[in-house]
Amino acid sequence: MIVAIDGPAASGKGTLARRLAEHYRLPHLDTGLLYRATARTLMDEGRRLDDVGAAVKAARGLALIDFDEAALRGREMGEAASVVAAIPEVRAALVQAQQSFAHRPGGAVLDGRDIGTVICPDATVKIFVTASPETRAQRRALELRSRGEPSDYVKVLADILHRDRRDSNRAAAPLKPAADAVILDTTDLDVKGTFDEALRLIQSKLEAGAARRVRSTVP
């Protein structure tokens, strides 16, 4: 089973993807880390984020297992990742690794912006997780505070809106729900409520698939 989770910044998709992966005992790939690590490599090399050649080289050179997640999680890296993620050549350099991860035996859970639309158009279940910008900003501010980073709500909200705009309006694989994705609005849901609702969606999708298979085998 391949579970594709997409959604905007701070929608809760990462937490949901992790919990689903644990529940179904599937490997999980947070694809945002790929773009964050690409941006980080460029910054460490003192290069500009719009240096296409260096960005592609950085993306191709990523070793999935070597991520220092803590160093990639900050606000600044999210913004830098969004800039390099708009470069079509960078996206192209990362497609195959993501698809290989998704298609390992047994399946996987992937979360990002283009999993249901580009990386895994054949995913078993596609969930587009969203929430109001204000709710997302509140959650992100809390998370930043817990890590000791600056967490001014107004600034965080402006950042989120800016990043949403860039991620949604770029030409290459923009942030948008796949035509066959289920929208999960978490504005009024907590972590457990979001997880329970996702389980319900996945269960009904699996049952519908099983019923279709039975019908197609009945002569």
Which residues are near ligand DC by CB under 6 A?
Answer: 9, 31-32, 35-36, 78, 81-82, 85, 112-114, 163, 167
CA distance 17 to 117: 17
Q: Is the CB of 142 or the CB of 211 nearer to ligand DC?
A: 142
Contacts of 33 (CB under 8 A, 6+ apart): 67, 69, 72
β partners of residue 111: 5, 30
Q: Is the CB of 54 or the CB of 86 nearer to ligand DC?
A: 86
**What are the distances in angstroms from CA 99 to CA 32, 102, 109, 186?**
15, 5, 11, 27
User: Rounded to the nearest whole angstrom, what is the least distance from the CB of residue 210 to ligand DC in the complex?
Assistant: 29
Q: Is the CB of 40 or the CB of 163 nearer to ligand DC?
A: 163
Q: Is the CB of 112 or the CB of 189 nearer to ligand DC?
A: 112
Q: Which amino acid is at 79?
A: E
User: Rounded to the nearest whole angstrom, what is the least distance from the CB of residue 85 to ligand DC in the complex?
Assistant: 3
Please check whether residue 156 is in contact with residue 137, taking contact to mean a CB–CB distance below 8 angstroms: yes
User: Rounded to the nearest whole angstrom, what is the least distance from the CB of residue 169 to ligand DC in the complex?
Assistant: 12
Q: Is the CB of 58 or the CB of 81 nearer to ligand DC?
A: 81
Tokens of 162: 């800016």
Q: Is the CB of 31 or the CB of 197 nearer to ligand DC?
A: 31
User: Rounded to the nearest whole angstrom, what is the least distance from the CB of residue 208 to ligand DC in the complex?
Assistant: 26
DSSP state of 181: P
Please check whether residue 119 is in contact with residue 31, taking contact to mean a CB–CB distance below 8 angstroms: yes
Report the alpha-carbon angle 73-62-150, nearest 5: 15
User: Rounded to the nearest whole angstrom, what is the least distance from the CB of residue 67 to ligand DC in the complex?
Assistant: 11
CA distance 129 to 126: 10
CA 201 to chain centre: 18
Please check whether residue 68 is in contact with residue 33, taking contact to mean a CB–CB distance below 8 angstroms: no
User: Rounded to the nearest whole angstrom, what is the least distance from the CB of residue 175 to ligand DC in the complex?
Assistant: 7
